[in-house]
Structure 1
Amino acid sequence: MTGHSPHESQSSETAPSADASSAFSWAIFGGSFATVAALGAAIYPISPFVSFLFFILSVPIGAFGLRQAIEDRDKFAGTLAALATLAIIVLLVLGDWNLPAFSTAEDSKPTATGRPSESALPPLSPHFHGAPQALKDRFVGREGEFAELDAAWAGVLSGEAPDPNQPPARVVGVIAWGGFGKSALARQWLWRRFESSSGSAALQGGSSFGSAARQGGTNGIEAKSHPGEWRSQEGIETKSRPGERRSEKRRSRQPSALFWWGFQEGQGVDDFALALLGYLADDPGLKLAGIPPDTAGRLALLRKGLEGREYLLVLDGLEVEQDALTRGEGPGGLKSAFLRGLLREQAAGRLGRGLVVVTSRLALIDLDPRGGYLAMDLEDRPLSREEASLLLGLEGVKELPERELTALLETIGPHPLALKTMAGFLVRHNRGSAVGWRRLLGDALDVPAGREQERKLWQVLAWSGQLLRPDEARVATAIARFREPAREEWLLHLLAPAEAPVVAREEPDLPGTQEELLRILAGESESAPVSPLLVPVYSPEKLALPGDPITGRQLRDALDGLAGLRLLRREGDGGYAMHDLVREYFRNIDNAADADNAVAAHLRLYRLYTSVIQPVWRPEGLEGLRPLYEAVWHGARAGLYQGALDNVYRARILRGAGPGGFYSTRKLGAFDADLAAVKNLFTEPWGRPAPGLTPADRAWLLNQAAFRLRALGRLGEAVAPMGAGLEMAVEQEDWNNAARRANNLSELELTLGRVAAAVESAERAVEFAGRSQDAFWRMGVRTTLADALHQAGQRKRALPLFQEAEALQAKDQPQTPRLYSLQGFQYAELLLAGCYVLRNSRDIVP
């Protein structure tokens, strides 16, 4: 049988035509290409990396389509496929995908520690504590400062400084007195550098703008973002003008760790250290007891947390932690050894690859400008006339002739806070016009001496204050007595007691015996079932400030009026805060009216903090203790030194001074916050405790202050209270405590290199221990004296003392006849240093 070709009709039924096949193929390829590319574009805001993969996948699909078009000789389809594929390739090449696997040459440059800059660690969400909102395109001026910050950030990434003979600026200090816009400048730079290019909210994640805002204010002006709404800001905000673009429209490499901390009065460094180390460890539940209490340990943990990251830290309002006069070097020295170590290590490049921006009213005298530190003094760079005019216009001044502007600037200067306050004055009392503003001013004022710009600000505040309504003046004065933003419900207790909310309290669970209750009060019991019973309860009359009460409506109207005058600002968490300089003005005016007003106000706030703001007798954690620390501050200023010591500090903060007490230091390690509380009970730190305290309590406070200073590494400052406490114990013939304190003083003096003084103190300790008849201290102080003599080179005098101490040890503890622990080490050191040989238990020969 011979083969034959199929019938023509049969072939047409089993194979589609060429046109139909081509159309079907193009539908598949075109749809696939469009789908994959659309998915890549849609996923980009969520995950640039996944988006990148989708665009990569679309390239071979487009290339296959191009090949098919060429085979089909379809020019239109081929041109379309070629253009689409080329567009994807260009997007892949030029797009900023920020992929960790593909770093540029700059990205791969080694750091100061020799490691590549790109980290395998995942980036941390930015952390903002007490930061103002970014002013964005409405910010005016400071272009030079932005350029310096840009250069500093580029320098720490590249490791190169503009001046090849200088290291890159790793710490930038923005320095100026209150109200110059320091915080707003720093926050605006973050927005320009890392957010404005793409319009994303990259730095908003993890932020807490409204919560825990810095007490005392953000040093700045308020920006009107919507009609009738004023938001707290620092710096200058103006309306954007057509054609003007003040932000850099380019993406900048994001820091893998961005941490902003606004320092506040009375808070201390412990909160900052805990928040920073917990942030870097990505452990929001970290407790203070979980980090080292000493500076070296905290710096080591910080260095570990920053390792491999490109970081940016902003320390806002650092003047809270600086001394007016420190170690004789002038204003600006840091009180905290941890902060001082952090900034010095950062400036030297020993923490890693990153930048620290500091805003402060005081110069950072602990840093050397030649060693990685750049200072920007905003007071030397005042607002221009044009910027001042724009600011007044933004704040509501609609009529501002050149002549009136000149007169205003001559009178109040180009200070942002003074201009803002003056604008509020003109808006309320002159319909937003600067014409004829002088006729509104009150009588001549007794302006206090001080810096020229402060005196001008005081004048503006006085003009506004003289025209306040009575309820506004009362509310402003009440808020000025707080150190933190005051909440409306707190103000109701002080000013409108009839409408104050009821405080929820726990039902007490009384212990079975009186002895158990006494043990709880003394800090000798871990349980505290009676805590609700021990929280003080005050009647509304006891909490209300002197004067006629107002209504809740009047209070809210007064808050709105003060905010409109720019004398108050609303915080995101519902609080109302004042700028430090405004607060000082209202305090001084109230004190001048009646010297007793301050005492009365602090007494009410002491009661408010101990019963309403903190209704738990012994709260947990540092945050729970914060209202009690504030209560000690107010109680001391109300003259309640003994009550603040007994009922708040010792009973509730320390949870007693017995074996189960000292909660804040032994359990939390809050030495810094605790020292601030102890300081309130001194009239002259650290030598004179407050009057009215019992002699025993004065001596005890001196010892507590010395212990906390020593724990914080402030050894030189610890000598005075330790010495004063020793002399008080001697006066009281309390020989046991006198021996302990003389022993501790000797050890401290020896650490400071004061060897002769250490020998003298140790000799006194031996004398006092002999009078106390305490066997342990009779042994211990002899080893202290022996060690001091050894360090003084008097080995022959030291050896018999160690022998006497060991004999006392054998007598008191026959089961362990040899000196051990620190005393044993000191004895062995002497033996090794002098090449002595221990022949038997009693004979030692050279």
Structure 2
Amino acid sequence: MRNWYDTLESNAIKPDGIFWWGFYRNAYLEQFLNALLRYVSQGRIEPETIKSTWEKTERIKEYIHQGTYLIILDGLEQMQKSASWDEFGTMIHRECTELLHYFADVPKGLCLITSRYSLKDLDEWLERSYKNLPLIDLSIPDSLLTLRSRGVKGSDEDMTEVINRYKGHALSLTSVAGYLNRYYDGDIKQAPEVEFILSDKDRFKDVNKLLRKYAEKMSEPERVFLQIFSLFRQEVTENDFTGVFRHEMEDTKFNDVLANMSELDFVDMINGLVDWRLISYDKTKGSYATHPLIKGYFESDFDEKDKRLCHKRIYQYFGEYAPEQPETLAEMQPLFEQVYHGCAARLYDEVLYDVHWEKIYRMEEYFIYHKLGAWETDLSLVRTFFPEGDFSQMPLVSEKSHQSWLLNAAGLALLSTGRSEEAEEPLKAAIDLYIEENQIAYASVGYRNLADLQFRTGELESGLESARTALDTAEKAKTDQYIVNSKAFLAWILHLLGKGEEAEKEFREADELEGKISGYRLYSGYGILYADFFLSIKRIDEAFELAKQNLEICQRNNLLNDISRCHRCLGAIERIRGNPNEAEAHLQNALEIARKVGMPDLEIEALLESCRLHLDMGRHKDATRDANEVLKICARTGFKLYEPEAEIVLGKAYLALNDIEQAENFAPSAYEKAADMNYRWQEGDAAHLLGEICLTSGDKVKAREWLKKAVACRSEISDPEVKQSEAMLKSL
């Protein structure tokens, strides 16, 4: 870091800013991204208004590109997968991986990271723009300086012997200094006889030997205090001391030694632990924290029954001041802590219903993601109910109906955040459990979610099968609303496969049944699918009528996801009607909401419609930018359905820019992908585009072949655009 800074100074360059984040004190992804975005944007953006963690990540990259920053990420192992995960050292959150890759690529600035784990995600950058500097050993001079500055007494020879035994481990040296000052007037000869022999990955085992020696010397109140302290995920405040550490706990006298202390003795004890460097105090925040190695030791050195009862008290404590109806994620934080500590106390059933379902979801309002758009947070909460957060195992609630609900919730959250590969297993497990428990109506929902996953990943035939099964089970359950939803979803997949007559029949029946149930036309996401169907067959007025009704209903009920869909559909309608300004306004609204709620499929669909508008307006570079963004999101999420359309946009844009070589790269790929998934509408569009490209390059023979394919495909699916293909073919 010194070399980097000196280089800037010699060139008369000053860094635009220095950002530090300590993950030991705050290991929440969204709070980290909010703080970094607020800093690099210099307050021009209010991060809480952006719900998508990916959008925040992209905005951070944009601002960092504009300046020269020193970014310090301390304790990053809190955001890495530990040995219990499949890939030790990889980032838990893909947004962090994306930022690390960007920091490694960006030519300006410096990112300094401290972590006890290797940064596996940066292996490709090793020795290029990423250097791995082990910091296990402080040098002998630095170690001597550390010990003497902290009041340790003795000869250099005696100190060097201890330093070598502890391998110059900084945390161990600072803590042993506190230990010696506390008990032996700083005499180095009284340092615990512990030998460090293990590698970085197993360093905690060496440190535990030293902490065990400390624990033997500690008073009982100190040990109990540190054991309770180790259970908190966030910084600890003085209010927590009163509400948890010294509060009566049900069915245990574990903390009586703290409750019975005088206030003066309790404060003296805490100050002593700060001096010992076993905990640290942040004066600006008025809060306490500890190193994860210390936290890990005292959390493990804890009777399991007492540990659960302490978690139970923390769960009750957060519940005492959690608001009944929080309106923001910040206000929900005590509820999130309740979920964590309640599950750690094995109160899974109570936590699921009383906290997660009633207060975070607000029953069937699904507040956390429908109103707050916090899919990532929802995913992390659902994970808490699974053994070690593993969605391949059964959730730990007692009733099978609750297990199936959590499995389905996990699959839906994974799908909605673009983790398509991970979503399939819990969705299928939920369906199996629904069927086993004869919950046929819920099985219909599960099959519909599975169909949603399959069609977005390009498995249209599998999606069709799941959608048909969803309808069959809904009809067996005689649940009208589920029949409506299943019919509409089935109709959409039939449409994509080019089965127009069957699709129109299912849409019409769903629309009629919805009218009998609610008095409305088909609405929400299913209504927009119907409007999109009308758009594709050029029944514009019917599409407008339906989309307009949907927007009114969705705005009245604050259904953010569907409001985005409505604006996107209305944007398409206004584009076709020749009203580009109105179209652009709708599409900007659609994209803004899509990014706020953090659903990549909504963002993709809004971007693709923006691409069509750009092409119509002759803004070909804007079209290529948005289409490339779509392909980037598809690569990240596995949503292959959208790739052919994005590549068709690129082919059209490059053709208009007279870049035939680039157009010829994208159009054949679009055709092959569409044909492989039997996506007939894009298959016809790609064949027509290939005909245009061949005609432009002077190959009339190939142009005729492609246009014949376009006419055949578009005729078969009753695509109104067939007339365009027929006219071009006739001209040859």
Correspondence 1:483 to 2:483: no
Q: Which residue of 1 aligns with 2:318?
A: 609
- Matched residue of 1:361: which SS? coil
Correspondence 1:805 to 2:513: no
Q: Which residue of 2 aligns with 1:657?
A: 363
Which structure's residues are more often helix, by fraction?
2
Shift of 1:771: 1.6
Pick aligned residue for 1:556 from 267, 275, 281 = 267
Instruction: Say if 1:622 and 1:327 are closer, same or farther in 2 by CA, change over 3 A.
Output: same
Which residue identity is paired with 1:598? K
Shift of 1:755: 5.3
Correspondence 1:734 to 2:459: no
Shift of 1:606: 1.2
- Matched residue of 2:130: which SS? strand
Pick aligned residue for 2:2 from 138, 146, 156 = 146
Instruction: Say if 1:777 and 1:624 are closer, same or farther in 2 by CA, change over 3 A.
Output: closer
Instruction: Say if 1:346 and 1:431 are closer, same or farther in 2 by CA, change over 3 A.
Output: closer
- Matched residue of 2:330: which SS? helix
What's the TM-score, normalizing by structure 2?
0.65
Q: Which residue of 2 aligns with 1:570?
A: 281
Q: Which residue of 2 aligns with 1:320?
A: 78
What's the TM-score, normalizing by structure 1?
0.57
Shift of 1:638: 0.8
CA deviation map 1:253-288 (0-9, x unaligned):
333344333335775322223333333444489362
Shift of 1:416: 0.7
Pick aligned residue for 2:28 from 268, 280, 293 = 268
- Matched residue of 2:445: which SS? helix
- Matched residue of 1:553: which SS? helix
Which residue identity is paired with 1:468? M
Query: How many aligned positions are there?
Result: 539
CA deviation map 1:159-202 (0-9, x unaligned):
xxxxxxxxxxxxxxxxxxxxxxxxxxxxxxxxxx7xxxxxxxxx
1-structure distance, mates of 2:100, 2:196: 41
Correspondence 1:383 to 2:262: no
CA deviation map 1:781-814 (0-9, x unaligned):
45655766787xx75xx45642441442464368
- Matched residue of 2:21: which SS? strand
Assess if the C-alpha contact under 8 Å between 2:500 and 2:717 holds in 1. no
Shift of 1:742: 0.9
Q: Which residue of 2 aligns with 1:92?
A: none
Instruction: Kindly report which structure 2 residues correspond to 1:390-469, keeping only aligned pairs within 5 A, or say none.
Output: 390-402=145-157, 404-435=158-189, 437=191, 451=201, 453-469=203-219
Correspondence 1:286 to 2:46: yes
Q: Which residue of 1 aligns with 2:295?
A: 583
Shift of 1:626: 1.7
Q: Which residue of 2 aligns with 1:113?
A: none
Which residue identity is paired with 1:146? R
Structure with greater contact order relative to length (CA < 8 Å, sep ≥ 6): 1
Pick aligned residue for 1:256 from 16, 19, 23 = 16
Instruction: Say if 1:447 and 1:255 are closer, same or farther in 2 by CA, change over 3 A.
Output: closer
Assess if the C-alpha contact under 8 Å between 2:474 and 2:483 holds in 1. yes
Shift of 1:495: 4.2
Shift of 1:582: 0.8
Q: Which residue of 1 aligns with 2:707?
A: none
Shift of 1:695: 2.7
2-structure distance, mates of 1:820, 1:688: 36
Which residue identity is paired with 2:335? L
Assess if the C-alpha contact under 8 Å between 1:472 and 1:558 holds in 2. yes
Q: Which residue of 2 aligns with 1:670?
A: 374
1-structure distance, mates of 2:374, 2:142: 45
Correspondence 1:713 to 2:468: no
Assess if the C-alpha contact under 8 Å between 1:603 and 1:634 holds in 2. yes
Shift of 1:690: 3.7
More displaced stretch, 544-553 vs 734-743: 544-553
2-structure distance, mates of 1:734, 1:369: 49
2-structure distance, mates of 1:446, 1:371: 28
Instruction: Say if 1:372 and 1:825 are closer, same or farther in 2 by CA, change over 3 A.
Output: farther
Shift of 1:452: 5.4
More displaced stretch, 549-558 vs 772-781: 772-781
Assess if the C-alpha contact under 8 Å between 1:447 and 1:459 holds in 2. no
Instruction: Kindly report which structure 2 residues correspond to 1:291-370, keeping only aligned pairs within 5 A, or say none.
Output: 291-293=50-52, 295=54, 297-306=55-64, 308-324=66-82, 330-349=87-106, 353-367=108-122, 369-370=124-125
Shift of 1:355: 3.9
Assess if the C-alpha contact under 8 Å between 2:379 and 2:414 holds in 1. yes
CA deviation map 1:615-650 (0-9, x unaligned):
533334222222221121111111111222222222
2-structure distance, mates of 1:477, 1:254: 45
Instruction: Kindly report which structure 2 residues correspond to 1:645-794, keeping only aligned pairs within 5 A, or say none.
Output: 645-654=352-361, 656-659=362-365, 662-683=366-387, 685-754=390-459, 757-774=462-479, 777-778=482-483, 780-781=485-486, 784=489
Q: Which has the larger radius of gyration?
A: 1
- Matched residue of 2:325: which SS? coil
Q: Which residue of 2 aligns with 1:237?
A: none
Identify unmatched segments of 5+ residues in structure 1: 1-144, 155-192, 194-249, 498-538
Which residue identity is paired with 1:650? W
Instruction: Say if 1:629 and 1:783 are closer, same or farther in 2 by CA, change over 3 A.
Output: closer
2-structure distance, mates of 1:746, 1:838: 22
- Matched residue of 1:366: which SS? helix
The alignment yields a C-alpha RMSD, in angstroms, of 3.9
Shift of 1:449: 11
Which residue identity is paired with 2:256? G
Instruction: Say if 1:737 and 1:313 are closer, same or farther in 2 by CA, change over 3 A.
Output: same
Assess if the C-alpha contact under 8 Å between 1:783 and 1:801 holds in 2. no
Shift of 1:598: 0.9
Identify unmatched segments of 5+ residues in structure 2: 538-678, 685-712, 721-725, 727-732
Shift of 1:744: 1.5
Which residue identity is paired with 1:674? D
Assess if the C-alpha contact under 8 Å between 1:317 and 1:361 holds in 2. yes
CA deviation map 1:94-136 (0-9, x unaligned):
xxxxxxxxxxxxxxxxxxxxxxxxxxxxxxxxxxxxxxxxxxx
- Matched residue of 1:658: which SS? helix
Which residue identity is paired with 1:466? E
- Matched residue of 2:208: which SS? helix
2-structure distance, mates of 1:469, 1:278: 44
Shift of 1:602: 0.8
Which residue identity is paired with 1:587? E
Shift of 1:292: 4.5
1-structure distance, mates of 2:458, 2:302: 49
